[in-house]
Structure 1
Amino acid sequence: MGGLEGATRAYVKRVKGPVYVFTGPVYPKAGVQVIGKGRVWVPAQLYKLVYDAGANRAWAQWVENDNEARAGQPITYRDLVARTGIEFLPGINPAD
């Protein structure tokens, strides 16, 4: 998600008003892979949600957690909620 960091930062600098960014892991429902002595869980996917409160717009990136993964087209806020089961912005219905 390295290139997304720069693109997100550039967007935040351009807009006026608050922008909220959520980044997190998504673990498989079964068969979680662990690594190291501490048995750290390895996520299957990663997401980055950007919510521009001033424009009431939101979009997200969804990527596989592997060395070859590249960000594709953004997905909608509703798609991210459906994939994760998390309502990140309760009470808000952002435009896609």
Structure 2
Amino acid sequence: MLVLLTFSVKDLGITEDIGERGDVTWGLPLGALLVLLVLVVVLLVVVVVLVVWVMDVLVVIGVVGLLKLVLLLVLVVGLVVGVGVGL
């Protein structure tokens, strides 16, 4: 569940170029944004590795390797969705 948080950036010591009031509304807490950024980077790395692996599998193994790849993709997507729901 996403909760809108409003906090003062004066508490963080960042007051330059913010304005007199210094209030900023974030759609997510800063920690959650960092976690999501890490998850996106990890997901991109996994996708690149899987694409390279698909090319090798299709060349070397064929249909059986493709079926294994589909199973692995289902597991990875399930893991990513599970972690995302857990956040």
Which TM-score band (shorter chain)?
under 0.3
Give the alignment's TM-score, normalised by structure 2. 0.28
User: Which structure dedicates a bigger proportion of its chain to strand?
Assistant: 1
Radius of gyration: which is bigger?
Answer: 2
